[in-house]
Amino acid sequence: MEFTEFYERDALAVVGGAEHPMEVCLVRVETSDGEVGFGEAIGYGSPDSVAVTVNTVLSRLVAGEESTSIWRLWDKMYKATFRLGRRGIVVSAMSGVDIALWDLAGKELGAPVYRLLGGEARRMRGYITGGYYRPDKDIPRLLEEVEEYVRSGFKTVKIKVGGLSIEEDLKRLSALRERFGEGLEIAVDANNVYDFSQALRMGRGLERFGVIFFEEPVSTDYPELSARLAAQLDVPVAGYETAFTVHEFRELISRYAVDIVQADAAWNGGITEMVRIGVLARSYGLPLIPHYSAGGIGFVASLHAALTINSPIIEYHLRPNPLREALAGDAIKHSGGFFEPPAKPGLGITIREREVERFRRAGR
C-alpha cells in the first residue's frame, strides 16, 4: 500500500465563546487505491504549525509505507522527530496522523477501530464538562446550565474551579449539591491553577461536597507535588491532559501523582499512544478516563481507545459546536447519558466536507 497523497486541512472552530477558539488540524491520508482516512490534531493557538509539521515532516516519513503497520509507523515518526520535540506541536501532529491511519486500517479491514484492537461493542457512559466562568454567569445561571445537562440524560458533570476564590468556588458547588442532591455526580477541573497549599485547601473543601475527582490541581510540571496532594486528599486527583506520550504519563502514573489518568487521542499521541497509556495505567491499578475539549474526530478517536482499554466513562461537552457536528456528528450518538459504540468501519465518521470548508481558517 502506498500513500499517493498526504495533506492536511486546518479548521477553526469557535466554541464556548470567541475568547476561547478551539482550533484543530484536520489530517487526511489517502492510499494508492483511493481509500481515505481522517484524523484530527489539536492546535490551540497555532493550527498552522501543526499543519506544517504534518506536511513537511511526517508526511514523508509515512509516504510509501504499508498503511496498516501503525505501531511501527508511530515509532518511526517518533524516532525521526526527537530533535524537533517530545511534546506539543510534534506529538499533536503525530496524533492526527495516527488517528487517520487507524481510520484507514479499519476501513481496509472492514471493522470499527476498537474491534481491531479487541475492544467491546458496549455503550460508554459520558460526563459533561461545563460551568465555565462568564461575567454574567451567576449561581442561578450555573444551575440552569447544569439542569440542561441533567435533562439531556447525563448524571455526571464537571465544572471549572480556580477562576474565583476558593470560598466562591465552593459556594457554586454547594448550590449544585443543594439543587441536585446526591443523585448528581460532580467533578471539578482547576486547569493547573493552584500552588500546593491552595490545592490542598481546595481539595479539603471539595471533600465536603463528595466531589468525585479534582482535575489538574497543580502544574503538570510537578508530578511530585501532585503525588503529595493525592496522598493527602480523599478526593481522587485526576489528570493530566496537558501531558504528552506514555513517557510523560509514566512520570505521573508511576509516582501515583494521579488517581485517575486523563489523556486525549487528539494530542497525547493518537489512539496508539492512548492505548499504551491506558495499559500502563492499568498496570498501576489506575483507570484512564479520556479528555475531550474540541473538534469531533478527536472525541471519536478517544472513544475507540476507551472501548479498547475498558474505560469507565468519557468526557464530552454539550455546548454548541457546529464543527464537531460537521466532522463527526454522525458517529457521536448519545442517549440516557451513554454513547453508542461507532458502528461503521474505521472511526465510523462521515465528514460533511462542504460544511467543514466553512471553518477553514481565513486566508488559506
Residues that bind Mg ion (CB under 5 A): 189, 241
In this structure, which amino acid lies at residue 214? F
Question: DSSP assignment of 141-155, as one string?
Answer: HHHHHHHHHHHTT--
Catalytic residues: 160, 189, 215, 241, 264, 291, 315
Choice between 213 and 359, CB closer to Mg ion: 213
Shortest spacing between CB 20 and Mg ion, in angstroms: 13
Choice between 78 and 267, CB closer to Mg ion: 267
Residue 187, strand partner residues: 158
How far apart CA 1 and CA 67 sit, in angstroms, is: 6
Shortest spacing between CB 286 and Mg ion, in angstroms: 17
Shortest spacing between CB 118 and Mg ion, in angstroms: 28
Choice between 30 and 241, CB closer to Mg ion: 241
Q: How do 338-339 and 124-130 pair as beta strands? A: antiparallel
Q: How far apart are the first and last CA of the chain?
A: 30
* Contact between 286 and 259 (Cβ < 8 Å): yes
Q: Which residue is nearest to Mg ion (CB)?
A: 189
Shortest spacing between CB 130 and Mg ion, in angstroms: 12
Side-chain-side CA neighbours of 81 within 13 Å: the count stands at 26
Choice between 73 and 159, CB closer to Mg ion: 159
Shortest spacing between CB 160 and Mg ion, in angstroms: 9
| 92-122 per-residue burial string, b: 16 or more CB within 10 A, e: under 16 | bbbbbbbbbbbbbbbbbeeebbbbbbebeee
How far apart CA 263 and CA 255 sit, in angstroms, is: 17
The x, y and z cell numbers of residue 324, run together, are 464537531
Distance of CA 120 to the CA centre of its chain: 20
Q: What is the DSSP letter of 295?
A: -
Shortest spacing between CB 74 and Mg ion, in angstroms: 25
E strand or H helix that includes residue 36: strand 36-42
Choice between 169 and 241, CB closer to Mg ion: 241
Shortest spacing between CB 289 and Mg ion, in angstroms: 11
Residue reference for cell 492546535: 43
- Positive or negative torsion for Cα 195, 201, 206, 212: positive
The x, y and z cell numbers of residue 282, run together, are 492499568
Coil, helix or strand for 117? coil
Choice between 241 and 330, CB closer to Mg ion: 241
Choice between 189 and 330, CB closer to Mg ion: 189
- Positive or negative torsion for Cα 254, 256, 260, 263: negative
How far apart CA 183 and CA 296 sit, in angstroms, is: 29
